[in-house]
A and B are shown apart, each in its own frame.
Chain A
């Protein structure tokens, strides 16, 4: 196989009229990687994918597949295949004819064609469905036909445009794992477009988070979740509490911010900050801890006296909304590690508590 990057985008721009749907995107996607483009609808992730597929040509910038410039190569001459959101199976062809289409276009000899179609259908566990028509199959089965139809061509890169969007929750989870293991088996680079952060975290080797045509951050799921570099990423991936303030002290990796009402909080800085800058502290609800006031030592740093306001029991977790003394509310999630019906084991509304916010668990962000 080729060395280096499977896909390279350098300052790629796509304008529709005055609007830049994709705005100077630079990405390097490794060979054999499961790479996700994640973002809200309209963020440019699908347009980026369509440019890689060849359905749209970039208005500017450089696009390469395995080092070959691709900007104006038409889709049928690109070594990539796409799994469409709506599957786009040919309704007038059987499953076998659908899967054979790409091979026929490449004039693969008949004997080889039959064997490869069969192998592709085996791979997606649809061996007995060759003679069915797409309309006679369920959504999940159609999805697997679309996968087989793309993979049978042995593309260098497989593009997936929200392929699980139309499936119900349970099937979706199954397909996520199935896709992931399929990618391991075939060893092809997958580029996966989704707006579902959980899906992206579950499946990807690396994720690019996009918003308004720009790539905000690229990283592994852990990096994206634990070390978001801006407010948008921290907010879009998972849930978080934001506390606004101003940087008053700045160290090597940590900084302290002060809120307008005088509260001082410390957190890790993924990007350097300057004293006096406006900044936001991001604290994930599962990374904060609530303790009873009697357990708090008065000299404890980074604690806040709070009142429990609302309790939501969701089985695995208890979600607690607490009110800080000056009126702000924060969310704290506690895992239910004890199995008990004893009401005293849980927090009660109105109860006084102390919120512990260790600096290593909080982030100070300036954007």
Chain B
């Protein structure tokens, strides 16, 4: 019976994981497409790979591979300036995420649930921070904060410097838009008849929100929060413009270090930031997919 099987079947089956490249004709079109994909990934991820690899090199300029070491990570953790900036960054990211998630969610609920005057206007303005150049946003926030600080000086006579507060407000300003986008998407999929069913079963509006609406859109809210956190962690321009003395954030600190010299320590801290960002983005995707 075994002999009765067609002879070419095992060969075909073995080749099936390698899609069609070695079965059938290898045309120029197919070859150039494959090459294109390969180069695209190389340009996208090559530099990142180099960065990660050279964070482990012994070479003190971090540009040649001279053997494996964790020394730069050790130095990085011992560097008070860097660690201080990392702490600042986490603090700013945490506070701005909490605030922007609450406001962004409320905004999304208002936009999806209510018809009010000026709704279309608000709708258009919400996404402005997403589309306008970050530098424009940074300059406007700087000018605005200067104005407010000057106003406080004139009124109270006290000189107020830019501080964590200004940076946090700046981060909140752009994060709200992103949170709103993500939460609105999950509200769009939400079946409002579930809320009617809850009302019908004796729940008031408050109970309906906390027992039905909130658990259902929670993945969207968490996704938005993780996105806001990631965006705050690696924000550079707004952080640079709005931070005051003693509130320097990690991306700004890294930039200052790079201006003097590229050391493997920079590679190490960048690799760490990369790892944190990727983890958060993956987490936010997982959270949103879970239903």
Report the nearest A residue to B204, measured CB to CB.
A76
Q: In the complex the two chains form, is A90's CB within 8 Å of B203's CB?
A: no
- CB B229 to nearest CB in A, in angstroms, measures 25
Name 6 A/B residue pairs within 8 A (Cβ), A-sorted: A75-B199, A76-B201, A76-B204, A91-B194, A105-B203, A105-B207
* Contact indicator per residue, chain A 37-69, by CB within 8 Å of chain B (1) or not (0): 000000000000000011100000000000000
* A105 and B194 form a contact (CB under 8 A): no
Cross-chain contact B196 with A88 (CB below 8 angstroms):
yes
Q: What 1/0 flags go to A98-111 for Cβ under 8 Å of B?
A: 00011001100000
Known: A90-B197, A101-B201. 13 other contacts (CB 8 A): A54-B199, A55-B199, A55-B200, A74-B199, A76-B203, A76-B204, A84-B196, A86-B193, A90-B194, A92-B215, A101-B198, A101-B203, A150-B201
Report if A88-B207 is in contact (Cβ < 8 Å); known contacts: A75-B199, A81-B200, A105-B202. Answer: no
A240 part of interface (Cβ distance < 8 Å): no
Cα of A91 to Cα of B193 in the assembled complex, Å: 12
Main secondary structure of the interface of B (DSSP, over half): helix
Q: Assess whether A75 is in contact with B193, with CB atoms less than 8 Å apart.
A: no
A55 touches B198 (CB 8 A): no
Residues of chain A within 8 A (CB-CB) of B216 are: 91-92
Q: Which residue of A lies closest to B197 (CB)?
A: A88
A106 contacts across to B, CB distance below 8 A: 202
Interface positions of A from 123 to 151, Cβ below 8 Å from B: 149-150
Given contacts A88-B191, A88-B197, contact A153 B212 (CB under 8 A): no
**Inter-chain contact A75/B196, CB cutoff 8 Å:** yes
Asked if A118 lies at the interface with its beta carbon under 8 angstroms from chain B, I say no
Task: Give A149 to B198 CA distance when docked, in angstroms.
Answer: 11
Taking CB as reference atom, which chain A residue is nearest B201?
Answer: A102
Asked if A229 is an interface residue, CB under 8 A from chain B, the answer is: no
Nearest opposing residue in chain A for B199, CB measure? A75
Q: Residue B12 at the A interface, CB < 8 A?
A: no
Q: Which residues does chain B contribute within 8 Å of A80, judged by CB atoms?
A: 200
Asked if residues B202 and A84 are in contact (CB atoms below 8 Å), the reply is no
Q: Which B positions have Cβ atoms within 8 angstroms of A?
A: 191, 193-194, 196-204, 207, 211-212, 215-216, 291
B198, closest chain A residue (CB): A101
Complex Cα distance A106/B207, Å?
12
In angstroms, Cα B199 to Cα A101, docked, is 11
- Asked if B201 and A84 make an inter-chain contact with CB atoms under 8 angstroms apart, the answer reads no
Q: When the two chains form their complex, are residues A76 and B212 in contact, meaning their CB atoms are under 8 A apart?
A: no
Query: When the two chains form their complex, are residues A76 and B291 in contact, meaning their CB atoms are under 8 A apart?
Result: no
Chain A residues with CB below 8 A from B202, complex form: 76, 102, 105-106, 153
B-side contacts of A149, CB under 8 Å: 201
Q: CB < 8 Å: which of B194, B200, B207 contacts A82?
A: B200
CA of A313 to CA of B215 in the docked complex: distance in angstroms? 56
Give the residue name and chain of the B residue nearest to A75 (CB). B199
Which of B191, B198, B199 has the most CB atoms of chain A within a 10 A radius of its CB? B199
What residues on B are CB-neighbors of A88 within 8 Å?
A: 191, 193-194, 196-197
A residues less than 8 Å from B211 (CB atoms): 101
B196 proximity list for chain A (CB < 8 A): 53, 55, 75, 82, 84, 88
What distance in Å separates the Cβ of A228 from its nearest Cβ neighbour in chain B?
34
- Assuming the contacts A90-B212, A92-B215, asked whether A105 and B201 have C-beta atoms less than 8 A apart, the reply is yes
* Residue numbers in B under 8 Å from A74 (CB-CB): 199, 204
- Assembly CA distance A86 to B193 (angstroms): 8
